[in-house]
Amino acid sequence: MISTKIIPDFLLPPHIDQVGIEERSSRFTKRSIKNETKLNGLMLALNMIDLTTLEGKDTDGKVKQLCYKAIHLHDVYPGLPTVAAICVYPSMVKIAKKALEGSGVKVASVATAFPSGQATRDIKIRDTKYAVQHGADEVDMVISRGKFLQGEYNYVFDEIAAIKEACGKARLKVILETGELVTYDKVRKASDIAMYAGADFIKTSTGKISPAATMPITLVMLEAIRDFYYKTGKKIAMKPAGGIGKSKLALHYLVMLNETLGEDWMSNEWFRFGASSLANDILMQLMKQKTGIYQNANYFSID
C-alpha cells in the first residue's frame, strides 16, 4: 500500500530563467566535433537508442523485424554496437523478449494507458505488472498530466510510487510529456516529483505530442538530475524522446549531457535517445566516414 506523502517545501523547484536556459542550450550547438571524436560520438549515440514501434497496426512480424535490426547493425558496418533497447506495447513484450534472447538488448514497454495516461490507477498497475511478467526490463509510464496541471502533485507522486512498486526489478522511465506542461517551471517541478517518487529515468515525451524533446527542455531536466544527485547522492537517468532524427543534433545532446552531468552519465545505462529514425541517420553518417560517400536512405530498413 502506497501512503500519501506531502511534498515538503524544500523539494519545490527553483524558478527557471527562460532566457538563461535557452542561451545555455544554444551554446552546445556551436561546438565543432570532427574526425575520431565524431566517430566515437556516433557509436555512443547509436548504443543509446531505444528503437521503438508503438502503433495500433504493430504485428508480431514487425516487432521481430525491428529486433533483428537491433542486433544485426554490424551487418551494415562491422564493429557497430547494438542499440540499447526495443520499446513496444505490453502485448508485444513476449515476442520481443524471445527475439532478443542472448543479445544484451533490453526490452522496454510503455504502460499506464500510454500515451494519454487516462485510466484508473488499478488499470495502470495491472498494465505495468503484465509487461513485467512477460519479460520487460524497463517500463515507460506516463504521468497524469491533467492531475499535475490541476496542482494535484501528491496524486502524481503517489501514482509514480505505486507504478515503481509494481515494476519490481524493472527500471522505471517516467514520461512527463513536456509539450503539454508548456513552461520550464512546470517541467522542473514534474522532474523533481518523478525523481523523489522513485523514477529511474525521467523522459521528455511520448513522441505523440508536439513539441517533443528540445534542447532547452532537456537541459532543464538534466539540471534537475544534477541537483537531485547533489542532494541525495542518487543517479537518475535521462531520455529525451521525439524530434531527434539527425546525427548532428544527437551529438549536440551528448555535448550537453557531458558538460552538465559529466562522463559518469555517458553510457546507455544513464542516457537514452527515444528516436528510431536517428539510427538510420547515424548509419548513413558512419558509412560516409568509412567509404567517403553517403548511402541512399533506401538502403536501410524503415522502422
Catalytic residue IDs: 140, 203, 239
Residue 140 main-chain phi, psi, to 5 deg:
-105, 105
